[in-house]
Amino acid sequence: MSHGRCGAPAIDAFLPTTAAEARARGWDELDVVFVTGDAYVDHPSFAMALLGRVLEAAGFRVGILPQPDWHSAESFRALGRPRLFFAVSAGNMDSMINHYTANRKRRNDDAYSPGGRIGLRPDRPTNVYCQRCREAFPGVPVIAGGVEASLRRIAHYDYWADQVRPSILVSSKADLVAFGMGESVIVRIAERLRAGEPVAALRDLRGVAYLLGAREELPDHRWPDASNDGRTVELPAFEDVVAGGLPFARMTKLLHDETGPLNGRRLVQQHGDRMVVVNPPSMPLDERDMDRVYDLAYTRRPHPRYAGEPIPAHAMIKDSVTIMRGCFGGCTFCSITMHQGRIIQSRSKESVLGELRKLGADPEFKGHVSDIGGPTANMYRMRCTRPDVEKLCRRLSCVHPTICKLLGTDHGPLIELMREARQVPGIRSVKVASGIRMDLASRSDEYLDELAAHHVGGHLKVAPEHVSERVLGLMKKPVNNSFEEFEQRFRAASQRAGKEQYLVPYFIASHPGSGVAEMIELAVFLKQRGYRPRQVQDFIPAPMDIATCMYFTGLDPLTMQPVDTAKKLKDRIVQRALMQFFEPANWFVVRKALLDAGRGDLIGDGPQCLIPARAPKEALERRRKEAAGELGDATHVHAEDAGTERSVGYRPGRKGAGRRRRGGR
C-alpha cells in the first residue's frame, strides 16, 4: 500500500472511482462496477469496500461509483462498460429508514454521505440505479444486493407508502438479487460470467432470487448440501397478500421458516403471470473464510475525493473491529437475521489481533478502540453444540422463550480475545459499544468482571426494549427479570472493579402489542429505577420483519392471534410522551393519558407519581405556542442526544450520579 503525507494512503491504494484512477492502475476496462448509495469508505464495515476487496483478491478488476447523479444515465457511464456486470446496492442502510423518521418526516442528515449532507441518493435507490445501469450500457447484467434488496426479495409491506409492494425484482428489473451477506455468491457470479455463462444460467446459485418470464418453466435445481426434502414452498401470490390479513401473515410465517441455510427450501411467489423464485440462502462463512474477508488490505479511510468533508458513519466506526456476524436472538422487530443469518460466524483470534496490530501501528490512531464486537457484543463463537440437530432445527430464536440447552454459551474464547486485545502494542483501551445480550452475559460472572473492569467507559448500552410481559413476548425478548438480574450483576461487577458505572437501556415505543397501559407500566418502571430516556425509539416497520406483519395485519404470524398496534400519529405521540413523562412540556399529554387509563394515582406530588398535580410553566408555554401555531411540525419533545439519563428515583438509597448523556446507537 502506498502512502501520502502523514501516513494517509495514496489514491492508488483505493479501488478506482473514476476512469483516470482506473487507467493509473493500467486498466482500460473493469470487470465489475459497484454502484452504491453510500460514500466510498474503504473500511470492512462498508459493504462496497468489503465486497470490492473480495472480488479484487479473486483477481477481478473492480471500480466503485459512489452516489452517482441518478437524474440521467451519464454518471453511470463514468467508469466505462463493465465486462461482467454492474453490482448495485442502496448502501449500508435501508434507504427509507436512512431518509425518514418513524413519523415519515425527512431526516436532516445522512450519516453515510460526505458532510452528512442529504439529497445525494434517491428514495429506493436500488430501483433507480438498476434502471440507469441498463440505460447506460444495455445488455450488461445487473445484480442487485445489500440490505434494501435483501429485505424486499418477495412481496413486502412498505411502511412509507403504506401499501404492499411487489418483489424488488419486479420494480428494479435486476437480473438477480443476491440477498444476505454477499461475499461467496458475488465471487461465484463473477467467476461464472467470466467463464462465458449467461446470467440466466446462474439461477442455480444459493443466495440469489430471480424473476421467471411468463413462458419460462421453473428449473429443477437441487442443493445437496441442504438438510431438506427438496420441496419448493409456494408463498401466497402477490395479488393475495396486497390486502394483508391471513394471506400476508401466512406468507411471513412461511418465509421465516425457510431462512435457515442448513435446511431452508426454495420459495416461489406468483406476481401476475410471472414468478419470483428465491433460492436457499448462502451457507455461512467458516472461520477461514471470515479471516480471509477481514484480512484484506483495507485502508480504513474514506476515499481522498472527500477531503475536508468527514463522513459521520466513518467517524463512528473507524476505530472499531468486527469479530463476528449474525444473531440467533430472533427479535421480531430486527432485520439482522434476515440479512446476516441466524448462525454466528466468527473470526479467529489471530485474525482479530492482526487487525488490532495494524490499527495500533497507524500513526493517525489515538490508541482507543471504540468497539470490539458485531451485531451483538457477546455471541462470539457461540453455536449449536449438536451439528446433527442444527441441520434440522427450524427454531427462529435460540434464546426465546428460553435459552436452548444445546446452545454453546461459553464466554471463554471472548474473554481470552478481550484480554489479549488490550496487550496489543499501540492499544491503550478497548471498549465494547455493541449491544450486550444480557441473558447470555448473566451466565458468566467472569465475563462481566472482565467487561466492567476494562471495557466500559462509565456507561454500557443494553436493549431491554420494554417491561410488559406481553410486549416482550411479541418481540421475542427475555422477560424483564432478565434485565433486572443483569443490572444487579453488572453493578456488582463494577463494584468489584472499583468503578461507578451505569447501564444505558434502550426502549421502544409503539411496538405491536404496546398500548397505553403497557407504556404506563414502562413509565412506572423507569420512574422506580431512575432512568430518563433522552431519545425515544419509535418502532419502524422494516420490510419482511415479523413485527411488521403484526403492524400491517394485526396478526402475530407465528400464532395467528390478534395484536393491537398504535398506528395513528396521535397515539404514537402519547406513547413517546409516556416514556418521557419527566419532560415538563409533555405534562398535558401524559396527564390525559393517565386519566383516560384510570391511573390518576400517578398524578400528584408523591414520590410514586409520574407528573406533578399542577402544570409546569414549560407545559403551559408549549400549549400557548401550539395554539399560536409557533411549533410548526414539532409534535413532541424529542431530545437530540440518544440514550437514557440516570436520575434520582423515588426509592430510598438511590443515587443520582452518572447523569451524563450517551451518544445514539
Tell how strand 176-178 and strand 142-145 pair up.
parallel
R_g of the chain, CA atoms, integer Å: 25
pLDDT (tens digit per residue) in 63-83? 999 999 999 999 999 999 999
Contact between residue 144 and residue 172 where contact means Cβ atoms under 8 Å apart: yes
Tell me how crowded residue 94 is: count the other CB atoms within 10 A of its CB: 23
Q: What is the pLDDT of residues 111-127, one digit of tens each?
A: 999 999 999 999 999 99
Would you state the cell numbers that stand for residue 511, as one nine-digit string?
411496538
Domains in the chain, CATH or no CATH each: 5-224+272-278 (3.40.50.280), 305-347+365-577 (3.80.30.20)
The pLDDT of residue 665 is 30
Q: pTM of the entire structure?
A: 0.91
Q: What are phi and psi of 276, to 5 degrees?
A: -85, 130
Section 46-56 average pLDDT: 96
Per DSSP, the three-state class of 202 is helix
The Cα–Cα gap between 40 and 304 comes to: 10
Cβ 50 vs Cβ 38: under 8 Å: no
Tell me the one-letter amino acid at 569.
L
Residue 87 is which amino acid? A
Label residue 632 by pLDDT band (50, 70, 90).
low
User: Who's near 625: CB < 8 A, 6+ residues apart?
Assistant: 631
Give the pLDDT of residue 223. 81
Strands 176-178 and 208-212 turn out to be: antiparallel
Report the pLDDT averaged over residues 298-307. 95
DSSP 404-457: -TTB----HHHHHHHHHHTTSTT--EE---SPB-HHHHTT-HHHHHHHHHHS-S
pLDDT tens readout for residues 7-42: 578 888 999 999 999 999 999 999 999 999 999 999
- Read off the amino acid at residue 72: S
Q: Which three cell numbers stand for residue 394?
A: 427450524
Q: In 3-state terms, what secondary structure has residue 615? A: coil
Q: Return the pLDDT at 555.
A: 98
Instruction: Give me 218's grid cell.
Output: 421453473
Q: What are the b/e assignments for 53-89, b being 16+ CB within 10 Å? A: bbbbebebbbbbbbbbebeebebbbbbbebbbbbbbb
Q: In this model, does residue 639 exceed pLDDT 50?
A: no
Tell me if 316 sits within 8 A of 109, measured CB to CB: no
655 has pLDDT over 80: no
Q: Give yes or no for residue 592 having a pLDDT over 70.
A: yes
3-state DSSP: the chain helix, strand, coil percent, rounded to 5?
35, 15, 50
Predicted pLDDT of residue 651: 34
Rounded-to-integer distance, Cα 61 and Cα 239, Å: 42
pLDDT at 200: 96
Closest CA to 296 of 51, 460, 640, 615: 51
| Average pLDDT score, the chain | 91
Pairwise pLDDT comparison (533 vs 644), residue with the higher score: 533
Strand, coil or helix: what is 72? coil
Helix (H) or strand (E) holding 578: helix 569-579
Cell of 194: 467470466
Q: Which residues, at least 6 apart from 239, have a Cβ–Cβ distance to it below 8 Å?
A: 270, 272
- Starting at the earlier edge strand, list the strands of the sheet with 537-538: 459-465, 502-509, 537-538
Residue 406 Cα distances to 57, 376, 438, 454, 646, angstroms: 37, 20, 18, 30, 38
- What would the pLDDT profile of 399-435 be if each residue is shown by its tens digit? 999 999 999 999 999 999 999 999 999 999 999 998 8
Cis peptide before 312 (omega within 30 of 0): no
* The predicted structure's pLDDT at residue 7: 58
**Calpha distance 238→576 (Å, rounded):** 35
State the pLDDT at residue 338: 87
What are 652's three cell numbers?
Answer: 430510598
Is the predicted pLDDT of residue 645 greater than 90, yes or no? no
Average pLDDT over residues 276-297: 96
d(CA 589, CA 609): 15
Q: Tell me the torsion sign for CA atoms 589, 594, 595, 597.
A: positive
Q: Is 119 helix (H, G, I), strand (E, B) or coil?
A: coil
- Residue in 127, 150, 130, 143 with CA at minimum distance from that of residue 193: 143
pLDDT at 631: 67
Dump strand ranges (E) for 447-534.
459-465, 502-509, 531-533
Residues in contact with 30: Cβ distance below 8 Å, sequence separation at least 6, in sequence order: 16, 22, 61, 62, 63, 79, 80, 82, 83
Q: Give whole-number Cα distances, 391 to 110, 227, 283, 612, in Å.
A: 41, 6, 12, 57
Q: How many CB atoms lie within 10 A of CB 228?
A: 19
